[in-house]
Amino acid sequence: MIPNPLTSITKEDIDALVANAVSEGRTLDYKESLPGNSDSEKYEFLADVSSFANSSGGDILYGIREKRDAGKLTGIPEAADGVTVTSVDAEILRLDNIIRDGIAPRISNVRMIAIPGFARGPIILVRIPNSWLSPHMISKRESRFYARNNAGKYPLDIAEIRSAFALSESLPDKIRRFRDDRIAKIVADETPVKLMGSSRVVLHVLPVAALNPVTRIDVVSLIGKSLAPLGSSGYNTRLNFDGLLNFDQVSGGPSCRSYVQVFGTGAIETVDGYTIHPRDGKKIIGGKYVVRELISTLGAYLKVEEQLELQPPIFVMVTLLGVTGFKMYVEGWGRESEPIDRDTLFLPDIIVENYDVNAATLLRPTFDTLWQACGFEQSPSYDNEGNWKKNT
Protein backbone atom coordinates (compact mmCIF):
# COMPACT_ATOMS: atom_id res chain seq x y z
CA MET A 1 0.00 0.00 0.00
CA ILE A 2 1.24 3.48 -0.81
CA PRO A 3 1.92 5.04 2.63
CA ASN A 4 0.01 8.25 1.90
CA PRO A 5 -3.59 9.37 2.41
CA LEU A 6 -5.54 8.49 -0.71
CA THR A 7 -6.43 12.08 -1.56
CA SER A 8 -2.80 13.21 -1.42
CA ILE A 9 -1.35 10.59 -3.80
CA THR A 10 0.14 12.20 -6.92
CA LYS A 11 1.94 11.25 -10.12
CA GLU A 12 5.22 11.65 -8.26
CA ASP A 13 4.26 8.86 -5.86
CA ILE A 14 3.51 6.52 -8.78
CA ASP A 15 6.72 7.45 -10.58
CA ALA A 16 8.65 6.69 -7.38
CA LEU A 17 7.26 3.15 -7.32
CA VAL A 18 8.69 2.57 -10.80
CA ALA A 19 11.99 4.36 -10.16
CA ASN A 20 12.59 2.43 -6.95
CA ALA A 21 11.39 -0.89 -8.41
CA VAL A 22 8.92 -1.37 -5.55
CA SER A 23 7.67 -4.91 -5.95
CA GLU A 24 4.14 -6.19 -5.49
CA GLY A 25 3.41 -7.69 -2.10
CA ARG A 26 0.79 -8.39 0.48
CA THR A 27 -0.69 -4.88 0.28
CA LEU A 28 0.20 -3.81 -3.28
CA ASP A 29 -0.76 -5.15 -6.71
CA TYR A 30 -0.06 -3.90 -10.24
CA LYS A 31 -2.31 -4.36 -13.25
CA GLU A 32 -1.58 -3.20 -16.78
CA SER A 33 -5.23 -2.90 -17.80
CA LEU A 34 -8.65 -2.58 -16.21
CA PRO A 35 -10.90 -5.63 -15.92
CA GLY A 36 -13.32 -6.06 -18.80
CA ASN A 37 -16.97 -7.08 -18.74
CA SER A 38 -16.57 -10.80 -19.32
CA ASP A 39 -17.48 -13.13 -16.46
CA SER A 40 -13.91 -14.37 -16.16
CA GLU A 41 -12.44 -10.86 -15.94
CA LYS A 42 -15.01 -9.78 -13.37
CA TYR A 43 -14.31 -12.91 -11.32
CA GLU A 44 -10.57 -12.20 -11.35
CA PHE A 45 -11.23 -8.62 -10.23
CA LEU A 46 -13.48 -9.82 -7.41
CA ALA A 47 -10.86 -12.35 -6.32
CA ASP A 48 -8.25 -9.57 -6.13
CA VAL A 49 -10.49 -7.20 -4.16
CA SER A 50 -11.77 -9.83 -1.72
CA SER A 51 -8.25 -11.16 -1.11
CA PHE A 52 -7.15 -7.73 0.12
CA ALA A 53 -10.28 -7.28 2.27
CA ASN A 54 -9.74 -10.71 3.85
CA SER A 55 -6.09 -9.92 4.64
CA SER A 56 -4.43 -6.60 5.48
CA GLY A 57 -6.10 -4.35 2.93
CA GLY A 58 -4.09 -2.64 0.21
CA ASP A 59 -3.91 -0.88 -3.15
CA ILE A 60 -4.48 -2.15 -6.69
CA LEU A 61 -2.93 0.12 -9.33
CA TYR A 62 -4.33 -0.13 -12.86
CA GLY A 63 -2.08 1.17 -15.61
CA ILE A 64 1.27 -0.22 -14.38
CA ARG A 65 3.23 -2.45 -16.75
CA GLU A 66 5.37 -5.11 -15.04
CA LYS A 67 8.77 -6.42 -16.04
CA ARG A 68 8.90 -9.94 -17.43
CA ASP A 69 11.43 -12.71 -16.97
CA ALA A 70 11.26 -15.55 -19.48
CA GLY A 71 7.78 -14.36 -20.36
CA LYS A 72 6.51 -14.37 -16.76
CA LEU A 73 5.45 -11.32 -14.80
CA THR A 74 7.89 -10.45 -12.02
CA GLY A 75 5.77 -8.12 -9.89
CA ILE A 76 8.32 -5.33 -10.44
CA PRO A 77 6.99 -2.22 -12.22
CA GLU A 78 8.55 -1.37 -15.57
CA ALA A 79 6.50 1.66 -16.55
CA ALA A 80 3.47 3.66 -15.48
CA ASP A 81 1.51 4.09 -18.70
CA GLY A 82 -1.98 4.67 -17.33
CA VAL A 83 -5.20 3.33 -18.83
CA THR A 84 -7.40 4.63 -21.62
CA VAL A 85 -10.92 5.41 -20.45
CA THR A 86 -13.70 7.49 -21.99
CA SER A 87 -15.04 8.61 -18.63
CA VAL A 88 -13.18 8.16 -15.35
CA ASP A 89 -16.35 8.60 -13.31
CA ALA A 90 -18.22 6.00 -15.34
CA GLU A 91 -15.35 3.53 -15.03
CA ILE A 92 -15.11 3.95 -11.26
CA LEU A 93 -18.88 3.48 -11.01
CA ARG A 94 -18.64 0.29 -13.10
CA LEU A 95 -15.94 -1.17 -10.86
CA ASP A 96 -17.87 -0.20 -7.76
CA ASN A 97 -20.98 -1.94 -9.08
CA ILE A 98 -19.02 -5.11 -9.82
CA ILE A 99 -17.76 -5.17 -6.23
CA ARG A 100 -21.17 -4.39 -4.78
CA ASP A 101 -22.93 -7.11 -6.76
CA GLY A 102 -20.24 -9.78 -6.58
CA ILE A 103 -18.94 -9.99 -3.01
CA ALA A 104 -20.78 -11.03 0.15
CA PRO A 105 -20.95 -9.61 2.69
CA ARG A 106 -20.51 -6.24 1.03
CA ILE A 107 -17.14 -4.56 1.62
CA SER A 108 -17.53 -1.07 3.06
CA ASN A 109 -15.28 1.84 2.14
CA VAL A 110 -13.56 0.59 -1.00
CA ARG A 111 -12.31 3.85 -2.48
CA MET A 112 -11.02 4.69 -5.95
CA ILE A 113 -9.22 7.65 -7.45
CA ALA A 114 -7.78 8.55 -10.84
CA ILE A 115 -4.23 9.94 -10.87
CA PRO A 116 -3.64 11.97 -14.06
CA GLY A 117 -0.52 12.74 -16.04
CA PHE A 118 0.43 9.47 -17.77
CA ALA A 119 0.91 8.61 -21.43
CA ARG A 120 -2.27 6.61 -22.05
CA GLY A 121 -4.46 8.17 -19.39
CA PRO A 122 -4.79 8.13 -15.60
CA ILE A 123 -3.65 5.48 -13.18
CA ILE A 124 -6.75 4.08 -11.44
CA LEU A 125 -6.02 3.29 -7.80
CA VAL A 126 -8.39 1.03 -5.87
CA ARG A 127 -7.82 1.09 -2.10
CA ILE A 128 -9.38 -1.79 -0.19
CA PRO A 129 -9.60 -1.75 3.62
CA ASN A 130 -8.84 -4.64 5.92
CA SER A 131 -12.49 -5.46 6.45
CA TRP A 132 -14.06 -6.02 9.86
CA LEU A 133 -16.75 -8.15 8.19
CA SER A 134 -14.33 -10.66 6.71
CA PRO A 135 -14.22 -13.30 5.44
CA HIS A 136 -15.78 -12.07 2.20
CA MET A 137 -16.86 -14.54 -0.46
CA ILE A 138 -17.21 -14.14 -4.21
CA SER A 139 -20.92 -14.60 -4.78
CA LYS A 140 -20.69 -15.03 -8.55
CA ARG A 141 -19.90 -18.33 -10.32
CA GLU A 142 -17.76 -20.33 -7.89
CA SER A 143 -18.35 -19.26 -4.30
CA ARG A 144 -14.76 -18.96 -3.15
CA PHE A 145 -12.84 -17.19 -0.41
CA TYR A 146 -9.46 -15.61 -1.17
CA ALA A 147 -6.71 -14.13 0.98
CA ARG A 148 -3.35 -12.60 0.19
CA ASN A 149 0.31 -13.00 1.11
CA ASN A 150 3.53 -11.59 -0.33
CA ALA A 151 3.28 -13.91 -3.33
CA GLY A 152 -0.23 -12.72 -4.24
CA LYS A 153 -3.75 -14.00 -3.74
CA TYR A 154 -4.64 -17.59 -2.95
CA PRO A 155 -7.88 -19.51 -2.23
CA LEU A 156 -8.57 -20.33 1.40
CA ASP A 157 -8.88 -23.98 2.34
CA ILE A 158 -11.55 -25.28 4.74
CA ALA A 159 -9.38 -24.88 7.84
CA GLU A 160 -8.47 -21.30 6.91
CA ILE A 161 -12.12 -20.42 6.27
CA ARG A 162 -13.09 -21.77 9.69
CA SER A 163 -10.28 -19.78 11.29
CA ALA A 164 -11.36 -16.60 9.47
CA PHE A 165 -14.94 -16.96 10.71
CA ALA A 166 -13.70 -17.60 14.25
CA LEU A 167 -11.65 -14.41 14.18
CA SER A 168 -14.62 -12.45 12.85
CA GLU A 169 -16.85 -13.72 15.64
CA SER A 170 -14.30 -12.63 18.26
CA LEU A 171 -14.51 -8.96 17.21
CA PRO A 172 -17.41 -8.03 19.54
CA ASP A 173 -15.50 -9.60 22.42
CA LYS A 174 -12.42 -7.51 21.61
CA ILE A 175 -14.47 -4.31 21.55
CA ARG A 176 -16.18 -5.16 24.82
CA ARG A 177 -12.85 -6.08 26.43
CA PHE A 178 -11.30 -2.75 25.35
CA ARG A 179 -14.16 -0.82 26.92
CA ASP A 180 -14.25 -2.91 30.09
CA ASP A 181 -10.48 -2.62 30.59
CA ARG A 182 -10.52 1.15 30.14
CA ILE A 183 -13.56 1.67 32.38
CA ALA A 184 -11.95 -0.46 35.10
CA LYS A 185 -8.87 1.79 35.04
CA ILE A 186 -10.99 4.95 35.17
CA VAL A 187 -13.02 3.64 38.12
CA ALA A 188 -9.76 2.77 39.90
CA ASP A 189 -8.44 6.31 39.19
CA GLU A 190 -5.66 4.84 37.05
CA THR A 191 -5.95 7.76 34.64
CA PRO A 192 -3.11 9.75 33.02
CA VAL A 193 -4.04 12.80 35.13
CA LYS A 194 -5.91 13.16 38.41
CA LEU A 195 -9.55 14.10 37.78
CA MET A 196 -11.77 16.20 40.01
CA GLY A 197 -14.98 14.79 41.48
CA SER A 198 -16.18 11.20 41.45
CA SER A 199 -18.70 11.11 38.58
CA ARG A 200 -17.51 10.73 35.00
CA VAL A 201 -18.74 11.09 31.43
CA VAL A 202 -16.61 8.82 29.24
CA LEU A 203 -16.46 8.76 25.44
CA HIS A 204 -14.50 6.10 23.57
CA VAL A 205 -13.91 6.32 19.81
CA LEU A 206 -12.45 3.03 18.60
CA PRO A 207 -11.51 2.44 14.94
CA VAL A 208 -11.57 -1.26 14.13
CA ALA A 209 -7.94 -0.90 12.99
CA ALA A 210 -7.01 0.04 16.57
CA LEU A 211 -7.76 -3.55 17.62
CA ASN A 212 -4.81 -4.66 15.50
CA PRO A 213 -1.69 -4.37 17.69
CA VAL A 214 0.49 -3.47 14.70
CA THR A 215 -1.53 -0.32 13.92
CA ARG A 216 0.45 2.82 14.70
CA ILE A 217 -0.34 6.46 14.04
CA ASP A 218 1.89 9.53 14.18
CA VAL A 219 0.68 11.07 17.44
CA VAL A 220 3.13 13.98 17.13
CA SER A 221 1.26 15.13 14.00
CA LEU A 222 -1.86 15.58 16.16
CA ILE A 223 -0.34 18.31 18.34
CA GLY A 224 -2.41 21.43 17.71
CA LYS A 225 -5.29 19.56 16.06
CA SER A 226 -8.91 19.98 17.20
CA LEU A 227 -8.75 17.47 20.04
CA ALA A 228 -10.24 19.26 23.01
CA PRO A 229 -11.16 17.11 26.01
CA LEU A 230 -14.88 16.63 26.60
CA GLY A 231 -16.35 19.61 28.44
CA SER A 232 -13.16 21.68 28.40
CA SER A 233 -12.66 25.36 27.62
CA GLY A 234 -8.91 25.08 27.17
CA TYR A 235 -6.19 22.51 27.62
CA ASN A 236 -2.52 21.67 27.89
CA THR A 237 -0.75 19.04 25.78
CA ARG A 238 1.94 16.50 26.43
CA LEU A 239 3.14 13.22 24.98
CA ASN A 240 3.08 10.13 27.17
CA PHE A 241 3.72 6.41 26.89
CA ASP A 242 0.26 5.74 25.45
CA GLY A 243 0.36 8.53 22.87
CA LEU A 244 -0.91 12.12 23.03
CA LEU A 245 -2.60 13.60 26.10
CA ASN A 246 -4.62 16.84 26.21
CA PHE A 247 -5.91 17.86 29.65
CA ASP A 248 -7.89 20.73 31.17
CA GLN A 249 -6.24 21.49 34.50
CA VAL A 250 -8.07 23.30 37.29
CA SER A 251 -6.45 26.69 37.85
CA GLY A 252 -4.21 26.60 40.90
CA GLY A 253 -4.92 22.97 41.69
CA PRO A 254 -3.46 19.53 41.04
CA SER A 255 -6.59 17.99 39.50
CA CYS A 256 -8.11 18.29 36.03
CA ARG A 257 -11.62 18.82 34.76
CA SER A 258 -11.15 16.44 31.84
CA TYR A 259 -8.66 14.84 29.49
CA VAL A 260 -8.43 13.19 26.10
CA GLN A 261 -5.95 10.38 25.50
CA VAL A 262 -5.13 9.50 21.90
CA PHE A 263 -3.52 6.07 21.84
CA GLY A 264 -0.82 5.07 19.39
CA THR A 265 -3.30 2.70 17.76
CA GLY A 266 -5.71 5.54 16.93
CA ALA A 267 -8.20 4.81 19.71
CA ILE A 268 -9.43 7.90 21.57
CA GLU A 269 -10.61 8.17 25.18
CA THR A 270 -11.96 11.35 26.75
CA VAL A 271 -13.15 11.55 30.35
CA ASP A 272 -14.99 14.52 31.90
CA GLY A 273 -14.98 14.77 35.69
CA TYR A 274 -16.60 18.19 35.92
CA THR A 275 -19.91 18.18 34.04
CA ILE A 276 -21.67 15.75 36.39
CA HIS A 277 -21.18 16.77 40.00
CA PRO A 278 -23.51 17.92 42.81
CA ARG A 279 -24.36 21.62 42.72
CA ASP A 280 -25.84 23.38 45.75
CA GLY A 281 -26.30 19.98 47.34
CA LYS A 282 -28.35 18.67 44.41
CA LYS A 283 -27.40 15.82 42.09
CA ILE A 284 -28.47 17.42 38.81
CA ILE A 285 -27.30 16.67 35.24
CA GLY A 286 -27.56 19.54 32.78
CA GLY A 287 -29.06 17.63 29.86
CA LYS A 288 -28.68 20.37 27.25
CA TYR A 289 -25.00 20.83 28.06
CA VAL A 290 -24.22 17.09 27.98
CA VAL A 291 -25.88 16.71 24.57
CA ARG A 292 -24.10 19.69 23.07
CA GLU A 293 -20.68 18.69 24.37
CA LEU A 294 -20.89 15.06 23.26
CA ILE A 295 -22.09 16.01 19.77
CA SER A 296 -19.37 18.60 19.18
CA THR A 297 -16.64 16.41 20.68
CA LEU A 298 -17.55 13.30 18.70
CA GLY A 299 -17.74 15.33 15.48
CA ALA A 300 -14.24 16.71 16.05
CA TYR A 301 -12.77 13.30 16.89
CA LEU A 302 -14.25 11.65 13.79
CA LYS A 303 -12.63 14.34 11.64
CA VAL A 304 -9.27 13.49 13.22
CA GLU A 305 -9.76 9.75 12.61
CA GLU A 306 -10.55 10.50 8.97
CA GLN A 307 -7.42 12.64 8.62
CA LEU A 308 -5.42 9.73 10.05
CA GLU A 309 -6.82 7.49 7.27
CA LEU A 310 -8.24 5.08 9.85
CA GLN A 311 -11.06 3.53 7.90
CA PRO A 312 -14.49 2.75 9.32
CA PRO A 313 -16.09 1.09 11.02
CA ILE A 314 -15.55 3.23 14.07
CA PHE A 315 -17.10 2.07 17.33
CA VAL A 316 -18.40 4.85 19.60
CA MET A 317 -19.17 4.13 23.26
CA VAL A 318 -20.52 6.49 25.92
CA THR A 319 -20.42 5.54 29.61
CA LEU A 320 -21.56 7.45 32.70
CA LEU A 321 -19.90 6.57 36.01
CA GLY A 322 -20.87 7.43 39.56
CA VAL A 323 -24.37 8.64 38.66
CA THR A 324 -26.61 6.89 41.21
CA GLY A 325 -29.25 9.34 42.43
CA PHE A 326 -28.55 12.01 39.81
CA LYS A 327 -31.56 13.59 38.11
CA MET A 328 -31.82 15.10 34.65
CA TYR A 329 -32.68 18.77 34.45
CA VAL A 330 -34.25 19.95 31.21
CA GLU A 331 -34.64 23.66 30.60
CA GLY A 332 -38.22 24.65 29.85
CA TRP A 333 -39.78 21.48 31.26
CA GLY A 334 -40.06 22.94 34.75
CA ARG A 335 -39.34 19.69 36.53
CA GLU A 336 -36.61 17.25 37.37
CA SER A 337 -36.50 13.64 36.26
CA GLU A 338 -36.62 10.47 38.26
CA PRO A 339 -33.23 9.64 39.82
CA ILE A 340 -30.87 7.28 38.01
CA ASP A 341 -31.02 3.94 39.81
CA ARG A 342 -27.53 2.62 39.19
CA ASP A 343 -23.94 3.75 39.43
CA THR A 344 -22.81 2.93 35.87
CA LEU A 345 -24.69 3.50 32.62
CA PHE A 346 -23.25 1.67 29.61
CA LEU A 347 -25.14 3.48 26.85
CA PRO A 348 -25.73 1.71 23.48
CA ASP A 349 -22.70 1.26 21.25
CA ILE A 350 -22.72 3.11 17.94
CA ILE A 351 -21.14 1.86 14.72
CA VAL A 352 -19.91 4.54 12.30
CA GLU A 353 -19.76 2.88 8.87
CA ASN A 354 -18.62 5.92 6.90
CA TYR A 355 -17.45 9.45 7.59
CA ASP A 356 -20.34 11.10 5.75
CA VAL A 357 -22.43 11.12 8.91
CA ASN A 358 -23.71 13.66 11.39
CA ALA A 359 -22.61 13.25 15.01
CA ALA A 360 -25.99 14.45 16.29
CA THR A 361 -27.79 11.79 14.27
CA LEU A 362 -25.39 9.09 15.46
CA LEU A 363 -25.86 9.96 19.11
CA ARG A 364 -29.65 10.08 19.22
CA PRO A 365 -30.06 6.45 20.45
CA THR A 366 -27.47 7.20 23.13
CA PHE A 367 -29.37 10.24 24.38
CA ASP A 368 -32.75 8.52 24.20
CA THR A 369 -31.42 5.72 26.42
CA LEU A 370 -29.94 8.24 28.87
CA TRP A 371 -33.25 10.07 29.17
CA GLN A 372 -35.12 6.79 29.56
CA ALA A 373 -32.82 5.99 32.49
CA CYS A 374 -34.23 9.18 34.02
CA GLY A 375 -37.88 8.28 33.39
CA PHE A 376 -38.51 10.13 30.12
CA GLU A 377 -39.67 8.49 26.89
CA GLN A 378 -36.89 10.05 24.82
CA SER A 379 -34.42 12.89 24.64
CA PRO A 380 -36.14 16.27 24.18
CA SER A 381 -33.17 17.44 22.11
CA TYR A 382 -34.63 15.92 18.91
CA ASP A 383 -37.81 16.59 16.97
CA ASN A 384 -40.13 13.89 15.64
CA GLU A 385 -38.04 13.56 12.47
CA GLY A 386 -34.88 12.92 14.48
CA ASN A 387 -33.33 16.34 13.90
CA TRP A 388 -31.26 17.84 16.69
CA LYS A 389 -32.84 20.92 18.25
CA LYS A 390 -29.71 22.83 19.19
CA ASN A 391 -31.43 25.05 21.72
CA THR A 392 -33.12 22.23 23.66
pLDDT at 204 over 70: yes
Please report whether residue 16 resides in a domain: yes
Helix (H) or strand (E) holding 176: helix 171-187
Summarize pLDDT for 61-120 with one digit per residue, the tens: 999 999 999 889 999 999 999 999 999 999 999 999 999 999 998 888 899 999 999 999
pLDDT at 252 over 90: no
Q: What is residue 332's predicted lDDT score, i.e. its pLDDT?
A: 62
Q: What is residue 97's predicted lDDT score, i.e. its pLDDT?
A: 95
φ, ψ dihedrals at 53, nearest 5°: -65, -35
312 residue type, one letter: P
Please report whether residue 192 resides in a domain: yes
pLDDT at 274 over 80: yes
Q: DSSP per residue over 100-147, as a string?
A: HHHEESPPTT-EEEEE---SSSPEEEEEE---TTPPPEE-SSS--BEE
- Please report which confidence band the pLDDT of residue 321 belongs to, taking 50, 70 and 90 as the band edges: very high
> Is residue 346 helix, strand or coil?
strand
Summarize pLDDT for 345-366 with one digit per residue, the tens: 999 999 998 888 899 999 999 9
Q: What is residue 161's predicted lDDT score, i.e. its pLDDT?
A: 81
In a shared domain, residues 290 and 187: yes
pLDDT at 334 over 80: no
User: What value does the mean pLDDT of the chain take?
Assistant: 91
In a shared domain, residues 97 and 234: no
In a shared domain, residues 161 and 176: no
In a shared domain, residues 368 and 340: yes
pLDDT at 10 over 70: yes
Summarize pLDDT for 31-51 with one digit per residue, the tens: 999 999 999 999 999 999 999
Cis (ω within 30 of 0) for the bond into 172?
A: no
Least confident of 63-67, 226-230, 240-244, 325-329: 325-329
CATH code, domain carrying 130: 3.30.950
Q: Give the span between the Cα atoms of 266 and 226, in whole angstroms.
A: 15
Q: Which residues contact 21 (CB under 8 A, 6 or more apart)?
A: 76, 77
Nearest to 129, CA basis, from 211, 60, 52, 218: 52
Percentage of the residues of the chain whose pLDDT score is greater than 70: 97
Q: Are 144 and 138 in contact (CB under 8 A)?
A: yes
Q: Give the span between the Cα atoms of 110 and 128, in whole angstroms.
A: 5
Please report whether residue 381 resides in a domain: no
Q: Which residue range(s) make up the domain with 199?
A: 171-372
In a shared domain, residues 253 and 127: no
Burial of 228 by CB count in 10 Å (0-12 exposed, 13-18 middle, 19+ buried)?
buried
Please report whether residue 302 resides in a domain: yes
pLDDT at 392 over 90: no
Summarize pLDDT for 111-159 with one digit per residue, the tens: 999 999 999 999 999 999 888 778 899 987 777 999 998 888 988 888 8
Please report whether residue 99 resides in a domain: yes
**Ramachandran sector of residue 91 (left: φ over 0; alpha: ψ -120 to 50; beta: rest):** alpha
